[in-house]
């Protein structure tokens, strides 16, 4: 009798599941599933609210930012745009150790995809918003090698209508100035001296256009969405009790995931749906130039304090008392020395090389470093204090290292060829 | 008869004037009996602690005398002298035990008096700042913010010299071979205090006496200046506000002081991710603390260094805090 019931039950079960996909059993508890679901893209919050950019969610600003992002006329040789180093096909990176634009850039180009969720921008966090960040590369001699007057001139010539519809009218009094003068307070001696000769209100009008270009670029980058990766499919299937052979992670991937969340402690810093806490840590990645060490977050503090375009500046839309991160900026502490922002691990399998100057070519090298790290390089003459060190040896087996890498590969989102935000604008 | 009346009248007028004086001077320090009680307990606690220390010092010298007597006895050739010396050592050993017991008793007694003092100070402070103190519970982490960010394990930060004390890869492998593969149960929620040795009896009260016993203070969490939003849970990775409420041990609100905030995690080498500041004194002794943010769960120590406001001209190095308030949090 029992045998008959068993057979009937099996038939009923098989017909419920259907032919192609086999339901997969698992032993994750409800608490585990709840925990894992916090890491799924499905549960990603909206980007950080931007007090300093009132246009951050404006579609008009995003559309203008979209054009600006791919516009290579915003560079001294007419061939460098934001997309030169942030290429959509490479998840908005360039695959180089250190980016090459007009010259060679100091650091590796990070993906822009997770940046709208971070309080701090650049590897060292020397900018406190995405709009302020966007302004840096224009005036960097090794990047766009442009100036704010040239940017303003380009806007007046090519973007005046969408600009004025979205932001505000550009005073005609600066039309001829920005056409004739190449000036910025950050450039060459000549550019600086020309900038100083401008009247304060002229400087302010130019800076306003420049700042709004950054705000449009920020609005664009906030529109960039990632498709769910294999990992997200797995977690979502666990949450909805629909785990099948088609969405389950392999044993190696699951072991890697357990290590990632457990003994390897990766999730300590690489947490949340974007796998980053966006804070600053020193993991002792090899120093690429021992003659001139990179102090990371430590140097960023003075840059932030002196920056013209922070949340506290006159070009910010925030009330100064709401600029919490800047008001309570941590300015001192040994943990700032040589610390860099935790990068997101989304699409990590497709965004080699790794670390701030591409010190590691492969994920194998990265995992080997975490497995048996070298303490940070220390030079008494160059470092203000002995660098802080944030990681401990993991001592994993070769199989465990391979599993961890298999898991990291499940964080790659497919590129949606229909997503227009991911492509150069048509016009 | 009239003379006496006049005398009483004078006394009554004087008393009334005194009462009026105290009523006008904010707040009513003299009425707060709890601070008196607390100070009495505090003094007793300190005396007990002093006696405990003395007993332990005495115990130490007796211990030395015992060793000396025993060494002498070992070297002594004459048996009757030897016996005398051993007897002496035994007598001293009994004395030692008494000293040790005394020391331990006084310490326990002192600690319980200290607790009584802290309790009375707390009641006194709550009375003194009746309309300000809303939440008396120790601070905890808001689990909702925790679940979102999944920041569940400890970032362990070490000095580079610690690396060679971590054992070798081979040792680790032999101990944990295939443990992950064998153990199919997910252990995602790693104890947040991993690698930290917070004592089980750690005082995590939101009311604390200062290190030099000059001040008594209370902390509570506020998510805005509106009092109604008070909670005892701090959010993870979010800048929020605290109130710091301080009186001196006599029961007078502490006003016009410079207060510097220092935070760290014992067992880690890092501090807070922001630099919180006292931005406002909302009322005498009630300080608004802004910019507090915790990036991790675990044992945090938050210290408020109290500086004299008159010393602002001195450079940072020259300044020494008048006193320090230390709060332990298990978040």
**Residue ranges for chain B with pLDDT beneath 50:** 1-3, 18-28, 30, 147-156, 163-195, 225, 227
**B176 and B49 both lie in a single domain:** no
B22 in a domain, yes or no?
no
Please report the pLDDT score of residue A125 as a whole number.
97
Superfamily of the domain at A59-225: Cytochrome c-like domain (1.10.760.10)
The conformation of residue B331, written as its DSSP 8-state character, comes to -
Mean pLDDT calculated for residue range A206-228: 98
Please spell the DSSP secondary structure of A390-419, one letter per residue: --------HHHHHHHHHHHHTTPPPP-TT-
**B310 and B188 both lie in a single domain:** yes
Please report the pLDDT score of residue B144 as a whole number.
67
B10 in a domain, yes or no?
no
State the CB neighbour count (10 A cutoff) for residue A426: 6
Residue B193's domain comprises: 132-331
Please report the pLDDT score of residue B200 as a whole number.
79
**B299 and B173 both lie in a single domain:** yes
Mean pLDDT calculated for residue range A82-107: 97
State the CB neighbour count (10 A cutoff) for residue A297: 25
Please report the pLDDT score of residue B330 as a whole number.
86
**B174 and B249 both lie in a single domain:** yes
Please report the pLDDT score of residue B2 as a whole number.
46
SS3 of B93-108: the string is HHHHHHHHHHHHHHHH
Q: Write the pLDDT tens digit of every residue in A11-27.
A: 445 444 445 578 998 88
B291 and A261: CB-CB below 8 Å?
Answer: no
Mean pLDDT calculated for residue range A88-114: 97
Closest chain B CA to residue A48: B238
B202 in a domain, yes or no?
yes
**B194 and B270 both lie in a single domain:** yes
**B56 and B202 both lie in a single domain:** no
Q: Write the pLDDT tens digit of every residue in A291-346.
A: 999 999 999 999 999 999 999 999 999 999 999 999 999 998 888 999 999 999 99
Mean pLDDT calculated for residue range A35-56: 93
- Candidates 3.30.450.270, 3.30.565.10, 3.10.450.350, 1.10.760.10; correct CATH number of A258-296+337-409? 1.10.760.10
**Residues 147-206, chain B: which have Cβ within 8 Å of A?**
147-160, 163, 166-169, 172-173, 176-177, 180-181, 184-190
Q: In total, how many domains does chain B have? A: 2
- Domain end, chosen from B128, B144, B170, is at B128
| pLDDT range class, residue A6, cuts 50, 70, 90 | low
Please report the pLDDT score of residue B5 as a whole number.
56
ipTM of the complex: 0.77
A328 and B276: CB-CB below 8 Å?
Answer: yes
Please report the pLDDT score of residue B92 as a whole number.
94
**B93 and B159 both lie in a single domain:** no
CATH of the domain at B253: 2.60.40
C-alpha A392, offset from chain centre: 25
Mean pLDDT calculated for residue range A240-257: 94
Do B203 and B253 meet the contact criterion of CB atoms below 8 Å apart? no
- Domain end, chosen from B128, B147, B170, is at B128
Distance between CA B207 and CA B246 in Å, rounded?
Answer: 10
- Domain end, chosen from B128, B149, B166, is at B128
Please report the pLDDT score of residue B104 as a whole number.
95
Burial class of residue A199 (count of CB atoms within 10 Å of its CB; 0-12, 13-18, 19+): exposed
Question: A362-369: long-range contacts (C-beta < 8 A, 24 or more apart)?
Answer: A363/A405, A363/A408, A364/A401, A364/A405, A367/A396, A367/A401, A367/A404, A367/A405, A368/A401, A369/A283, A369/A284, A369/A285
Q: How far is the CA of A317 from the CAs of A55, A62, A304, B291, in angstroms?
A: 9, 17, 17, 20
**B319 and B192 both lie in a single domain:** yes
The conformation of residue B76, written as its DSSP 8-state character, comes to -
Q: Which residues of B touch A34 (CB under 8 A)?
A: 147
B13 in a domain, yes or no?
no
Residue B301 C-alpha, separation from nearest chain A C-alpha, in angstroms? 16
State the CB neighbour count (10 A cutoff) for residue B258: 16
Distance between CA A376 and CA A206 in Å, rounded?
Answer: 43
Return the higher-pLDDT residue of A17 and A232. Answer: A232
Q: Write the pLDDT tens digit of every residue in A391-416.
A: 888 889 999 999 999 999 999 999 99
Do B184 and A258 meet the contact criterion of CB atoms below 8 Å apart? no
Do A215 and A55 meet the contact criterion of CB atoms below 8 Å apart? yes
Please report the pLDDT score of residue A38 as a whole number.
86
B65 in a domain, yes or no?
yes
Closest chain B CA to residue A28: B186
**B46 and B83 both lie in a single domain:** yes
Please report the pLDDT score of residue A3 as a whole number.
53
Q: Going by DSSP bridges, is the β-strand pair B207-209/B215-222 parallel, antiparallel, or unpaired? A: antiparallel
B325 in a domain, yes or no?
yes
Mean pLDDT of chain A: 93
Distance between CA A237 and CA B287 in Å, rounded?
Answer: 50
**B245 and B310 both lie in a single domain:** yes
| pLDDT range class, residue A277, cuts 50, 70, 90 | confident
Least confident of A186-200, A259-273, B304-318: B304-318
Residue B217 has phi, psi (to 5 degrees) of -145, 165
**B189 and B300 both lie in a single domain:** yes
Residues of chain A with CATH 1.10.760.10: 59-225, 258-296+337-409
Distance between CA A159 and CA A67 in Å, rounded?
Answer: 9
B311 in a domain, yes or no?
yes
**B153 and B270 both lie in a single domain:** yes
A265 and B184: CB-CB below 8 Å?
Answer: no
Burial class of residue A49 (count of CB atoms within 10 Å of its CB; 0-12, 13-18, 19+): exposed
B192 in a domain, yes or no?
yes
Please report the pLDDT score of residue B174 as a whole number.
43
**Residues 21-80, chain A: which have Cβ within 8 Å of B?**
27-29, 31-32, 34-36, 38-39, 43, 45
Nearest to B240 by CA among B268, B208, B274, B271: B274
């Amino acid at each position: 009798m029992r045998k008959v019931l068993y057979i009937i039950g099996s038939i009923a079960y098989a017909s419920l599941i259907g032919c192609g996909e086999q339901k997969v059993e698992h032993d994750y508890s409800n608490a585990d599933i709840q925990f894992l679901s916090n890491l799924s893209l499905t549960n990603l919050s909206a980007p950080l609210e931007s007090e300093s950019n009132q246009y951050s969610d404006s579609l008009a600003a995003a559309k203008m930012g979209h054009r600006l992002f791919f516009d290579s006329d915003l560079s001294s040789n007419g061939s460098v745009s934001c997309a030169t180093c942030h290429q959509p096909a490479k998840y908005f990176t360039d695959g180089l150790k250190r980016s090459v634009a007009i010259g060679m850039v100091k650091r590796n180009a990070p993906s822009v995809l997770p940046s709208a969720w971070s309080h701090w921008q650049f590897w060292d966090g020397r900018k406190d918003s995405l709009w302020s960040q966007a302004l840096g590369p224009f005036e960097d001699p090794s990047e766009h090698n442009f100036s704010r007057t040239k940017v303003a001139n380009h806007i007046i010539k090519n973007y005046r209508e969408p600009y004025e519809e979205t932001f505000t009218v550009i005073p005609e009094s600066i039309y001829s100035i920005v056409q004739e003068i190449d000036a910025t307070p950050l450039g060459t001696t000549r550019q600086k001296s020309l900038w100083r000769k401008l009247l304060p209100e002229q400087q302010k009008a130019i800076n306003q256009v420049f700042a709004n270009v950054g705000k449009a670029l920020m609005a664009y980058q906030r529109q960039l969405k990632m498709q769910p990766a294999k990992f997200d499919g797995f977690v979502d299937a666990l949450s909805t009790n629909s785990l099948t052979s088609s969405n389950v992670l392999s044993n190696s991937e699951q072991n890697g995931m357990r290590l990632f969340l457990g003994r390897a402690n990766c999730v300590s810093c690489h947490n949340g749906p974007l796998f980053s806490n966006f804070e600053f840590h020193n993991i002792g990645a090899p120093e690429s130039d021992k003659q001139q060490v990179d102090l990371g977050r430590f140097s960023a503090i003075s840059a932030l304090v002196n920056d013209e375009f922070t949340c506290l500046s006159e070009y910010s839309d925030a009330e100064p008392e709401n600029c919490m991160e800047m008001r309570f900026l941590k300015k001192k502490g040994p943990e700032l020395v040589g610390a860099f922002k935790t990068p997101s691990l989304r699409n990590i399998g497709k965004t080699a090389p790794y670390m701030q100057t591409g010190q590691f070519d492969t994920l194998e090298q990265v995992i080997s470093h975490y497995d048996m790290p070298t303490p940070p390089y220390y030079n008494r003459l160059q470092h203000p204090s002995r660098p802080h060190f944030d990681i401990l040896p993991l001592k994993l087996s070769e199989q465990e290292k391979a599993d961890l890498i298999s898991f990291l590969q499940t964080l790659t989102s497919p590129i949606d060829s229909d997503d227009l935000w991911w492509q150069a604008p048509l016009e | 008869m009239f003379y006496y009346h006049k005398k009483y009248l004078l006394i009554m007028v004087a008393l009334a004037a005194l009462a009026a004086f105290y009523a006008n001077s904010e707040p009513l320090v003299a009425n707060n009996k709890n601070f008196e009680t607390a100070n009495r307990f505090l003094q007793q606690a300190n005396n007990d602690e002093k006696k405990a220390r003395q007993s332990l010092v005495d115990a130490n010298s007796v211990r030395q005398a015992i060793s000396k007597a025993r060494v002498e006895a070992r070297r002594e050739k004459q048996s009757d002298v030897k016996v005398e010396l051993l007897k002496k050592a035994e007598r001293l050993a009994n004395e030692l035990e008494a000293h040790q017991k005394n020391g331990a008793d006084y310490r326990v007694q002192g600690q319980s008096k200290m607790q009584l003092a802290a309790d009375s100070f707390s009641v006194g402070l709550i009375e003194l700042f009746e309309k300000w103190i809303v939440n008396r519970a120790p601070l905890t982490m808001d689990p909702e913010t925790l679940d979102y960010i999944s920041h569940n394990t400890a970032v362990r930060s070490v000095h580079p010299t610690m690396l060679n004390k971590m054992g070798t890869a081979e040792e680790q492998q032999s101990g944990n071979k295939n443990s992950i593969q064998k153990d199919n149960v997910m252990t995602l929620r790693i104890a947040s205090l991993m690698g930290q040795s917070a004592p089980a009896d750690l005082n995590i009260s939101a009311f604390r006496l200062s290190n030099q016993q000059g001040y008594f203070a209370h902390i509570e969490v506020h998510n805005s200046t509106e009092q109604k939003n008070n909670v005892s849970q701090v959010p993870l990775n979010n800048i929020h506000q605290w109130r710091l409420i301080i009186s001196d041990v006599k029961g007078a609100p502490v006003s016009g002081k410079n207060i510097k905030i220092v935070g760290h995690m014992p067992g880690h080498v890092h501090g807070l991710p922001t630099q919180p500041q006292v931005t406002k004194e909302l009322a005498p002794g009630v300080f608004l603390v802004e910019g507090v943010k915790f990036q991790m769960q675990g044992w945090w120590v938050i210290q408020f260094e109290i500086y004299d406001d008159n010393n602002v001209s001195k450079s940072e190095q020259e300044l020494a805090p008048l006193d320090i308030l230390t709060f332990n949090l298990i978040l």
